């Protein structure tokens, strides 16, 4: 993990963020000896976020109702 002084981090913040994204994290050290690790946040995706479909032709209200009725009739 690459380390930067606080002054370097402040002067080159955009590059520091890119380095953290690429390498998984960077360390920032202060003059008083304290150090901090900057890590990229993990992107979480909802399990319900699924891609939609694009039908070949427009689907009307009547098409949807017919499909529902056929499904109900098939279950009986």
| C-alpha span between 4 and 7 (Å, rounded) | 8
Please say whether the beta carbons of 26 and 37 come within 8 A: yes
In the predicted structure, residue 74 carries a pLDDT above the cut 90: no
CA distances (Å), 3 to each of 7, 23, 27, 40, 61, in order?
12, 12, 4, 15, 61
Q: Note the pLDDT of residue 45.
A: 86
pLDDT in tens, 7-60: 999 999 999 999 999 999 999 999 999 999 999 998 888 888 888 888 888 999
pTM of the model: 0.55
Domain ranges of the chain: 2-38
Predicted confidence (pLDDT) per residue in 2-18, tens digit: 999 999 999 999 999 99
The class that CATH gives domain 2-38 is: alpha beta
Q: Are 20 and 34 in contact (CB under 8 A)?
A: no
């Amino acid at each position: 993990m690459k380390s930067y002084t606080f002054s370097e981090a402040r002067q080159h913040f955009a590059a520091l963020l890119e380095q953290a994204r690429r390498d998984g994290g960077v360390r920032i050290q202060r003059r008083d000896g304290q150090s901090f690790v900057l890590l990229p946040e993990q992107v979480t995706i909802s399990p319900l976020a699924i891609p939609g479909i694009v039908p070949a032709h427009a689907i009307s209200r009547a098409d949807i109702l017919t499909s529902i009725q056929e499904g109900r009739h098939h279950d009986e």
